[in-house]
Amino acid sequence: MGEHYSISKNSFDVLRFSKREVDKIALVTEGGGQRGVFTAGVLDSFLQANFNPFDLLIGTSAGSLNLASYICGHKGHAYRIIDQVTRSPDFFKLSRFLLTGEGMDLDWLIDKTESDIPLNWKVGEEHLTTKQVLAVAAHATNFETKYFDLSTSNWKDILRASCAIPALHKQPVIMDDKRWLDGGLTTPIPVQAAYDRGFRHIVVIRTVPVDFTENHDWLISLAKMTKNSKLDHMAAMLVTHEENYRKTQAFLANPPDDVIIYEISPNRSLQSKVLGSTKKQLDADYQHGKALGNVFLETIASKLSLSHLQQEQFLIQTREERFTDAKKQQEYNNQIDAIWNSKICGEVFGVERIPLKWINVNPNKKKQTLVIVNGRNESYWKYKEVILELSQYYNIYAYDHRGQGESGRMTQDHELGHVDDFHDYVMDLYIFMERVVRPNLEGECFMLSHSMGAAVMAQYLSTFDHPVKASAATSPMFGVYIPGKVHGLKKQTLNLLDVLASKPNYALGQSHFKKVRYEENVLTHSKARYQIFVDLFVNNPRLRLGGPSTHWITESIKAGKKCIATAHKVNIPMLILQAGDDLVVSNIAQSEFHEKCNSSHLEQVEGAYHDMLIEKDIYRDIAINKLLDFFTSDYRFF
């Protein structure tokens, strides 16, 4: 018997794998409709690591769609197709199918992909000179399996044929005067085809756990629901073809003596469905796929004699030890001072002529621009460490919101966190972009926001014409956390207190600036970075801000709800980095925004507190790399 290695969270197979010489290797991808988002996650982890050593790639149904994105080098492309296109009612709507029999519109899916999320076939053609990519389809009459060579000239027809789920697709797929159906009917996992073509090292990506025994039970259930004779006939046919599926599983579990199977599969049933998945379900399965893809890279791939195995990592220049070791801290301070002293400072008048202070940092003369929109009780001074790293790649602009930092205050009490109307923040950002940033743009423009700044950014993006190509938000405030004693009060009570107040005043339980001990903070696990954050305000009274006013809280509650209500109007890619252990803003509200925003992509940094940009290295490194990966490579596909 040959060798079989299971790459799954619950498997220890990888521990027994030893180094191997590999002359050629194949990749096989299973279908599964929207469950293919798991495969998208695995392949995106491969792309991130610049890992594509495969000489032969064979995909069935959604697996072939994933291979098209992979061969064109598009990290995030397959995820976006599944999330944005296959979830659209223009592609498939169950109620419409049950009432009218109108199924999946594969023509619309492919045309939508070509027009809105085009494949980069220039890269694909380069790969196809050294690699063979096959998509599996089944003959509609005699159920003979056909392996179509994917190419730039016929990719649309081939992918349509491979994905034409019986009885659920709208238009017949005709090629060579023959009708073709989903290849999963006859060859759900085309591993035997790779073996027959002489490959003895085969990586298989599954969309079901290894012990899964049924492949198309969903269609049998659908037949019972609709009482459709054609569908019933197809379901009966599928029962017969389950035998092919069991044979394939037997091949995987007990491969021939001369073959090694590397099987990447979920360790649980995926949350997503063939059709009708929510964004939350897709995201969970996508992240699961990415995690297992990285397990494969770190354990199996690193022991294969193949090139391009090292995962790309961006240059993280700062470590927590640089804040505790005197010599290293001095080196860090010198680096910071060098770029900080080169900054350009300015002022622009916002709503009601409140002065907004801004800076521009570009020590490396970069063309691409990144605009930082900070959170409540912050200043661009807080972002010195972030700017040190991001200025390697971008021309950076940042400004301080009205009522905080270096900008003009709103009340006689310098430390009261107050705003008359949350939309003033949004208009300030618009004014800053139009009068300061936009006139000086030379390359693409991106935007990075944090907490309250994300609510400002989201409303700006959904309201105005803007030059921003992609945006990212860390711990966005789409649901406000009501601190202290105010937390138990209902919105009506807050509104009443707001109306009764003769002038802006601190909300119940809030006060002037107070130094919070590290042990009581909910922003970061990093004691060193937290101390720097606190010292910034202790040593610079002009930057201090205390608690919010009651009116600020009521305005922020309304702002969060408005962000969610208008999320569908944000039409550029947005990466949402969610802090797993956030105790400041609502992760539920972030998920609600994400579900309604067609162009967002949510990733969680597990275990991180709210302010992940000043977190411990184990969390911060993840966040910084996710941001840079998003902005520098393929943001447009998320």
Residue positions annotated with a catalytic role: 61, 182
Helix (H) or strand (E) holding 306: none
Contacts of 208 (CB under 8 A, 6+ apart): 30, 32, 35, 215, 265, 266, 269, 270
Distance (Å) of CA 536 to CA 331, 380, 544? 19, 11, 9
Please say whether the beta carbons of 598 and 566 come within 8 A.
Answer: no
Token representation of residue 55: 């000489």
Instruction: Using DSSP bridges, classify how beta strands 260-264 and 26-29 pair: parallel, antiparallel or unpaired.
Output: unpaired
Task: Give the start-end residues of each E strand in 250-318.
Answer: 260-264
Contacts of 330 (CB under 8 A, 6+ apart): none
What is the 8-class DSSP label of residue 106? Answer: H
> Rounded distance, CA 260 to CA 16, Å?
13
Token representation of residue 125: 């053609």
> Rounded distance, CA 271 to CA 100, Å?
28
Token representation of residue 386: 């972030």
Give me the phi and psi of 474, to 5 degrees please: -100, 125
What is the 8-class DSSP label of residue 169? Answer: B
Token representation of residue 527: 């004691």
Please say whether the beta carbons of 2 and 261 come within 8 A.
Answer: yes
Please say whether the beta carbons of 26 and 202 come within 8 A.
Answer: yes
The identity of residue 6, as a single letter, is S
> Rounded distance, CA 449 to CA 375, Å?
7
CA 638 to chain centre: 6
Give me the phi and psi of 236, to 5 degrees please: -65, -40
> Rounded distance, CA 300 to CA 45, Å?
14
Find the distance separating the first CA and the last CA of the chain, reported in whole Å. 43
CA 416 to chain centre: 36
What is the 8-class DSSP label of residue 549? Answer: B
Instruction: Using DSSP bridges, classify how beta strands 173-175 and 178-182 pair: parallel, antiparallel or unpaired.
Output: antiparallel
What is the 8-class DSSP label of residue 142? Answer: T
SS3 assignment for 376-392: CCCCHHHHHHHHHHHCC
Give me the phi and psi of 135, to 5 degrees please: -115, 135
Instruction: Using DSSP bridges, classify how beta strands 173-175 and 56-60 pair: parallel, antiparallel or unpaired.
Output: unpaired
SS3 assignment for 6-31: EECCCCCHHHHCCCECCCCCEEEECC
